[in-house]
Amino acid sequence: MPYTAYISHPDCLLHDPGRHHPERPGRLHAVRNALLDEGLLEGLCLLDAPPATDAQLQRVHTAAHVAHIRASTPASGHQALLDPDTIMGEHTLQAALRAAGAGIEGVRAVMEGDADNAFCAVRPPGHHAERARAMGFCLFNNVAVAAAHALEHYALSRVAIADFDVHHGNGTEDIFRDDPRVLYCSSFQHPYYPDTPHAERDHLIHTPLAARTAGAGFRAALERDWIPAMDRFMPELVLVSAGFDAHRDDPLASLNLDEDDFAWVTRALAAVASRHAGGRLVSMLEGGYDLPALGLSAAAHVRVLCCAPERQTSGRP
């Protein structure tokens, strides 16, 4: 059985964007409680997320962006960044640094053999954060920071990022648009937020889905677009932007997936990791705003990671 790490930090609960904001601390309680209820948490390797360093953040963000986020902490109350939904409170910086650091720790754990795969239960999410701007609840691009760490610190040359959040990860595309060492596969409701232009590159796989697309359409689209591209790319590490807001109960969007679909995509990605990356996979929480659906979906995702296929070692001594 694979050894799965669960990476989080209490500071991620301290980010308070305001009473009526959907990206709320209770999301992490919902994830953890679902894992507890289903008896999964006790089998995981619990690791604390360290804060990301400025040097790690600046592999994917401009120094000016990192300085801007650092300087935007309000003395009290809330401070809106680029858009009115992307909010900093007194403790948001700590949460954002831990969220980005979780991916660093996940990559370390799987690269150094402390875990086979990892799930990072963190907030704020990251995939809308571009190289030089915060947006869509995201300050730092957590999964991009993790990918850059794998490329730079561990000298990998092929990292795949699979993003099944209901929103397109414009930030991740912005950061890796001209870096073919990263295969970025994103499925997303379309047309929908953020509705930024998509670059056409061989290493950017866009899978737009019409509103009300359900599991069969989602699975067929990923089998058509993602799996062949990943098998051609042969990633040395698979990263996942695990947003669960494509769930049919989610209040922010209009796709009709359920937890079985999230289990299916997790199995498919774990199989890619097994074929090409020694099973190495690091998943990071992105969206998911209906708390019961988020808990069930994250539990379905983690259950598959715990039972992912063993590393394929045939042909090696």
| DSSP state letters, 279-301 | T-EEEEE----SHHHHHHHHHHH
Site residues for Zn ion, window 167-186 (CB under 5 A)?
167
Minimum distance of Zn ion from residue 64's CB (angstroms): 26
If the CB atoms of residues 130 and 165 are measured against Zn ion, the closer one turns out to be 165
Q: Which of 105, 173, 174, 245 binds Zn ion (CB under 5 A)?
A: 245
Stretch touching Zn ion by CB under 5 A, among 3-11, 139-147, 165-173, 208-216: 165-173
| Nearest residue to 277 via CA among 97, 171, 157 | 157
Give the length of the chain.
317
Task: By CB under 5 A, name the one of 163, 165, 174, 290 that touches Zn ion.
Answer: 165
Q: Which residue has 């001594």 as its token pair? A: 317
Strands 182-189, 79-80: parallel, antiparallel or unpaired by DSSP?
A: unpaired
- Whether omega for the bond prior to residue 84 falls within 30 degrees of 0, making it cis, is no
Nearest residue to 237 via CA among 123, 146, 131, 102: 146
Out of 2, 106, 171, 287, the residue judged to bind Zn ion by CB under 5 A: 287
Minimum Å distance from CB 177 to Zn ion? 20
Asked if 288 interacts with Zn ion (CB under 5 A), we say: no
Which CB atom, from 11 or from 165, has the smaller least distance to Zn ion?
Answer: 165
CB nearer to Zn ion: give 4 or 297: 297
CB of residue 77 to Zn ion, shortest distance in Å: 26
State the Cα torsion 127-132-136-142 to the nearest 10°.
30
Q: Tell me the residue number closest to Zn ion, measured at CB.
A: 287
Per the CB < 8 A criterion, the answer to whether 312 and 6 are in contact is no
Range in contact with Zn ion (rule: CB under 5 A) among 75-83, 199-207, 280-288, 305-313: 280-288
In the complex, minimum distance from the CB of residue 263 to Zn ion, in angstroms, rounded to a whole number = 19
Task: Please say which residue, 27 or 280, places its beta carbon nearer to Zn ion.
Answer: 27
Binding-site member from 235, 243, 278, 295 for Zn ion (CB under 5 A): 243
Output the smallest distance, CB 165 to Zn ion, in A. 4
Instruction: Give catalytic residue positions.
Output: 128
Shortest distance, position 85 Cβ to Zn ion, whole Å: 12
**List of residues 6+ apart from 293 with CB closer than 8 A:** 244, 247, 248, 249, 250, 259
The Cα–Cα gap between 210 and 40 comes to 34
Stretch that binds Zn ion, among 66-74, 157-165, 172-180, 199-207 (CB under 5 A): 157-165
Burial (CB < 10 A; 0-12, 13-18, 19+), residue 94, is middle
Q: C-alpha distances in angstroms, 164 versus 29, 59, 70, 150?
A: 22, 24, 29, 21
Binding stretches for Zn ion (CB under 5 A): 165, 167, 243, 245, 287
